[in-house]
Amino acid sequence: MSTLVSRRRVLAGLAGAGALTLGACAAPNQPRYTASGARVLTMWGGWAGDQAAQIDSQLQAFNAEHPEVEFRYVPQGALEEKLLTGIAAGNVPDVVLWDRWRTATFARRGALRRIDDLAERDGVDLGGFFPEALREMQVDGEAFGLPLIVDARAIFYNKTHLEEAGLEPPSNWEELAEAAEELTIREGGRLQRAGFELQDVGLFAMWLQQAGGQMLDDSGARTAFDSDAGRAVLDYWDDLLHTRGVYDLGFSDGIDAFAQGVVSIAYNGPWQLPTWDEVAGLEYGVVPALAGPGGNRASGLGGFGLIIPTDAPEPEWAWELMKWWAADRDNALAFTEISNQIPALEEAATAPYFTGDERLAPIVETVSFAKIRPPVPGYADVETLALIPALQQSMSGQLTGAEALTQARIQGDRIMEANQS
């Protein structure tokens, strides 16, 4: 098959899967070789600003060990569109850093390089990564990249508030409800301090798993959230909001309420640590994500990975960078020190750097049981187009919880069916 035909097939497939509209290509106009004779290679990603500087620092370390090449990082806004445009023009980077959930869609359409053969050849143990993180980069058991960093939402709590109330941080739904109610402060009926920040309905899948439910059925073809577990989540939210009054919708919009001390407990992730560490007077702690009524602990696993586009100019050097960065314990930890990110490599994430830190250790523990979003066509649209709008209507009182789940199920099943044809 010719390269041009291959590119057309990839583009047609991605367009058929609902990919974003092609935009202007932003491929870097760089020399092929440096003045010293090193081959210039390119890495794309969506990280910019301080995060781009973190990537540059890691690439400089790689380049120093491999003087025959020089990887350069080129930040890309609208990364998906830029990659699609690059595929059309035959101008793609050597390696890409991206949110792992994109992998399945692009891999199914032939846009990514399979890496199992490379891993086997070079003795890279794919089983050394957190299983869920690796699964998010696989399609039908084949890997199309390496997971690089992971994150998961855990419980963050204001130490001062809990100590003053004589409370321990919560470990389950019942303890959270009781603590949040006691920590809430109202004056004249007006909320002054929220015991628990409950505003992100996008975390429903996490709560559903804690309740013992699942988003899709075992076939992966239909929704499963319109269930006893789904209704239990919305009943619990209703109890927190309207019976116990631990939060008012909109209370923390536009502000960092936890940092300001007007929220006592909240779900958040490791990305907040550098920011909150700089807040004067804020003493906070972290515990793993909650267990639901039946003892199920759950959280959502996110993070980034490294992939090689199918027509990458230098796939062997891209692979060399990927395994050096993601699959080597010391290099993975070096990036941790630069970026405050948790490595997807379990050996690195369970190093003393993490286990000896009272705030990082609970997040890593949460990562160990967190689950990715179902990597099946159409799932993302089920959440964004069907479920989240219905949940927002439920939270605002426009629909009951049962009505919201039923509405989302009907629309969600239609989306899933359309993506199977």
What is the third-level CATH fold of 154-300+375-418? D-Maltodextrin-Binding Protein; domain 2 (3.40.190)
Return the residue matching tokens 């789940």.
405
**CATH placement of domain 3-151+302-369:** 3.40.190.10
**Per-domain residue ranges for the chain?**
3-151+302-369, 154-300+375-418
The residue type of 361 is: A
The domains spanning 3-151+302-369 and 154-300+375-418 adopt the same CATH topology? yes
The pLDDT of residue 7 is: 40
The pLDDT of residue 345 is: 98
The pLDDT of residue 87 is: 85
Length of the chain: 421
The pLDDT of residue 90 is: 87
User: Cβ distance 98 to 307 under 8 Å?
Assistant: yes
The pLDDT of residue 84 is: 87
User: What are the distances in angstroms from CA 351 to CA 24, 79, 284, 288, 357?
Assistant: 43, 33, 23, 18, 10
355/272 Cα distance (integer angstroms): 18
**For the residues of 152-213, what is the DSSP string, one character each?**
E-EEEEEHHHHHHHT-PPP-BHHHHHHHHHHH-EEETTEEEEEEE----GGGHHHHHHHTT-
b (16+ CB within 10 A) / e for 25-62: bbbeeeeeeeeeeebbbbbbbbbeeebeebbeebbeeb
pLDDT tens digits for 356-369? 999 999 999 999 99
Q: Write the CB contacts of 151 (distance below 8 Å, at least 6 apart in sequence).
A: 269, 270, 271, 301, 302, 303, 341, 342, 363, 367
Q: What DSSP state is assigned to residue 306?
A: E
For the record, the structure tokens of 125 come out as 């143990």
Strands 138-139 and 284-287 turn out to be: unpaired
The pLDDT of residue 421 is: 62
The pLDDT of residue 340 is: 87
Residue ranges of the chain whose pLDDT lies below 50: 1-29
For the record, the structure tokens of 61 come out as 């370390």
The pLDDT of residue 262 is: 98
